């Protein structure tokens, strides 16, 4: 019986789905350290995590049975993707399932900051009745600058425009503007005209420290800043300085450079003393609706790969989509992208008198992946010959 381990309080539907497909499933609420994870993965085929558990090269080396990792979130920077792929571990995520949840929190942050709700709440708690319109604004007519125009940025663009905001965006890649949104030629141009700036960049290492003191200083006087993307992309010390000086009128931060590994752990940030400040514990995508959607989506990708060999929407393997589960025997061959691998594989099958009924091949970068349907199960000698093909990373048979 195949086994799966789900960590970090993943929605119960994920365990239910995997069990219905014949997996023995163990669940844990919190994240695990590298050493704890290696111990917990003994004999485990599939791993499900969120953002806190790190799948490092050491974990991959120590767990040769591990076949796939499901990231029940958008980000995948908690996994060493290249190393996992080079060792035959497919990684999947949920790139769309919690998009709306993030968008709604950004909108809520914008409205609250422009109306100075955090500051008013703070004053009320101190027993101060500060009934004034000073510094409070409607969102209608304000300019929203979106840095990173991916799935979240695009949907945010539509919702913000529906509220009457003017939307500008900046992205390194060429992106089609939604509605009346305007692409800016540079980040500096976006910062100069935006009343609210929100970051939605990905977790690539090159984005570390991407938004620093220089960028904060280029923002408009009294603008607000929002980061629900990655904790390491913004310099929070520089943000605090801009808030304390009065250059920025407010900020909302949901992600931090260093975060506790589990709920309930103590946490402190210097931003907590700022007046018009919204601090949330990495909950941008944490709604019941989003977690349920992710609980449906990711297990389906894991099951399709385990039973059918499909790498559709894998973030680290070549994309090979196959139709349904195999009707006979299916062979998945992940290999280094070398010339002649497909020919060698087919030659070995032909020498063994095995007929190929369908075949799909995909290559991406240093990896190649071929899925082959055959009319009968190869014997052990044939399987060993396939395994011995130069560049073979992982050979799997599915029936």
The pLDDT tens digits along the chain (399 residues) read 899 999 999 999 999 999 999 999 999 998 999 999 999 999 999 999 998 999 999 999 999 999 999 999 988 989 999 999 999 999 999 988 999 999 999 999 999 999 999 999 999 999 999 999 999 999 999 999 999 999 999 999 999 999 999 999 999 999 999 999 999 999 999 999 999 999 999 888 889 999 999 999 999 999 999 999 999 999 999 999 999 999 999 999 999 999 987 778 899 999 999 999 999 999 999 999 999 999 999 999 999 999 999 999 999 999 999 977 777 899 999 999 999 999 999 999 999 999 999 999 999 999 999 999 999 999 999 999 999 999 999 999 998
In the residue annotation, 200 being an active-site residue is answered as no
CA distance 194 to 166: 9
From 104, 161, 259, 364, the catalytic residue: 259
Report whether CATH 3.50.30.40 matches the domain 318-399. no
In the residue annotation, 333 being an active-site residue is answered as no
Partners of 47 in the β-ladder: 5, 69
Contact 184, 161 (CB under 8 A): no
Please determine whether the domains at 99-279 and 318-399 fall in the same fold group of CATH: no
Where are the chain's structural domains? 1-97+287-316, 99-279, 318-399
Task: Give the 3-state DSSP-derived string for 229-280, with helices as H, strands as E and coil as C.
Answer: CCCCCECHHHHHHHHHHCCEEEEEECCCCCCCCCCCCCCCCHHHHCCCEEEC
In the residue annotation, 282 being an active-site residue is answered as yes
| CB atoms closer than 10 angstroms to residue 376 | 11
From 116, 230, 330, 333, the catalytic residue: 230
Class of domain 1-97+287-316: alpha beta
From 120, 282, 301, 335, the catalytic residue: 282
Could you name the CATH architecture of 99-279? Answer: 3-Layer(aba) Sandwich (3.40)
């Amino acid at each position: 019986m195949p086994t799966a381990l789900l960590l970090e309080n993943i929605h119960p539907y994920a365990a239910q789905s995997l069990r219905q497909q014949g997996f023995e499933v163990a669940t844990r609420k919190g994240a695990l350290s590298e050493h704890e994870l290696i111990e917990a993965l003994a004999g485990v085929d599939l791993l499900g995590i969120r953002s806190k558990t790190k799948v490092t090269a050491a974990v991959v080396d120590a767990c040769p049975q591990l076949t796939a990792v499901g990231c029940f979130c958008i980000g995948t920077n908690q996994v060493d993707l290249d190393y996992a792929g080079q060792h035959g571990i497919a990684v999947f995520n949920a790139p769309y399932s919690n998009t709306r949840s993030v968008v709604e929190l950004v909108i809520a942050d914008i409205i609250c900051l422009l109306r100075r709700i955090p500051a008013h709440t703070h004053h009320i708690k101190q027993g101060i009745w500060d009934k004034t319109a000073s510094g409070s604004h409607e969102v209608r007519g304000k300019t929203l600058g979106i840095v990173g125009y991916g799935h979240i940025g695009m949907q945010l663009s539509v919702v913000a425009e529906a509220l009457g905001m003017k939307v500008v965006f900046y992205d390194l890649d060429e992106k089609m503007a939604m509605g009346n949104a305007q692409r800016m030629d540079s980040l500096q141009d976006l910062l100069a005209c935006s009343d609210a700036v929100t970051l939605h960049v990905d977790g690539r290492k090159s984005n570390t420290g991407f938004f620093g003191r220089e960028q904060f200083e280029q923002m408009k006087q009294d603008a607000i800043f929002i980061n629900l993307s990655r904790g390491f992309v913004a310099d929070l010390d520089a943000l605090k300085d801009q808030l304390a000086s009065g250059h920025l009128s407010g900020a909302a931060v949901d992600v931090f450079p260093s975060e506790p590994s589990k709920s309930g752990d103590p946490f402190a940030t210097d931003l907590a003393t700022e007046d018009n400040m919204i601090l949330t514990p990495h909950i941008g995508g944490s709604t019941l609706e989003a977690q349920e959607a992710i609980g449906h989506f990711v297990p389906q990708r894991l099951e399709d790969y385990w039973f059918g060999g499909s790498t559709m929407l894998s973030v680290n393997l070549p994309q090979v989509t196959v139709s349904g589960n195999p009707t006979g025997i299916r062979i998945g061959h992940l290999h280094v992208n070398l010339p002649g691998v497909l020919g060698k594989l087919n030659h070995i099958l032909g020498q063994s008198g095995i007929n190929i009924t369908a075949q799909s091949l995909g290559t991406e970068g240093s990896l190649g992946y071929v899925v082959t349907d055959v009319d009968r199960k190869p014997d052990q000698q044939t399987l060993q010959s396939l395994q011995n093909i130069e560049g073979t990373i992982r050979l799997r048979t599915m029936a």
